[in-house]
Homo-oligomer: A and B are copies of this chain.
Amino acid sequence: MSRSSNKIDDLNLIQGPIAKKAMTRINENGNVVGTIIVNCEGFPETTTLDSLTAATYSTHMRNLSHYASNALKEIDVLDELVVLRLVSKKTEAVVAPDHEFHLIVVMRRT
Chain A residues packing against B (C-beta within 8 Å) = 53, 56-57, 60-61, 63-64, 67-68, 71-72, 74-76, 78-91
Question: Bound state CA distance, A19 and B76, in angstroms?
Answer: 30
A86 partner residues in chain B, CB cutoff 8 A: 68, 72, 81, 84-85
A71 partner residues in chain B, CB cutoff 8 A: 56, 60-61, 63-64
Counting every copy of the chain, the complex holds 2
A90 partner residues in chain B, CB cutoff 8 A: 76, 78-79
Question: Bound state CA distance, A53 and B71, in angstroms?
Answer: 12
Question: Bound state CA distance, A99 and B28, in angstroms?
Answer: 37
- Contact call B87/A85, Cβ cutoff below 8 A: yes
Given contacts A64-B67, A67-B63, contact A56 B85 (CB under 8 A): no
By CB atoms of chain B within 10 A, which of A67, A71, A83, A91 has the most?
A71
- CB of A94, distance to nearest CB on chain B (Å): 9
By CB atoms of chain B within 10 A, which of A56, A68, A76, A91 has the most?
A68
